[in-house]
Amino acid sequence: MTEDASLPDALDVSVSYATRLGGRRADEALGAVKMPYGYALILDDDDLYYHWINYLGQEGRQHLNRWAVYRMAKLNASHHLAPTHGPLAVATGNS
């Protein structure tokens, strides 16, 4: 990812890759609950398994339960080192 890439743009690239493989973005399946910033919930092409994908292109494990995937994404997001400078820091509020 380049220095000037923004987090939402980077997430869109990751999501578009997942959708080209047959999945679809399914954040709305969580109702009012939001995925962690920089993460998206993906429903596979079989409409059975969920997984998360983030702005770095990393993907979580598949699971039948969307809430389990949500919890895995929150755990993964909490373990990432937050950027302290540059556009990603501004996007995440860490500047």
**Which pTM was predicted?**
0.73
pLDDT over 50 at 74, yes or no: yes
Domain containing 44 equals: 7-92
Domain count, the chain: 1
pLDDT (tens digit per residue) in 21-53? 888 999 999 999 999 999 999 999 889 999 999
Whether 1 is in a domain gets the answer no
Whether 2 is in a domain gets the answer no
d(CA 9, CA 62): 24
Say how many C-beta atoms besides its own lie within 10 A of residue 29's C-beta.
Answer: 14
Say how many C-beta atoms besides its own lie within 10 A of residue 91's C-beta.
Answer: 20
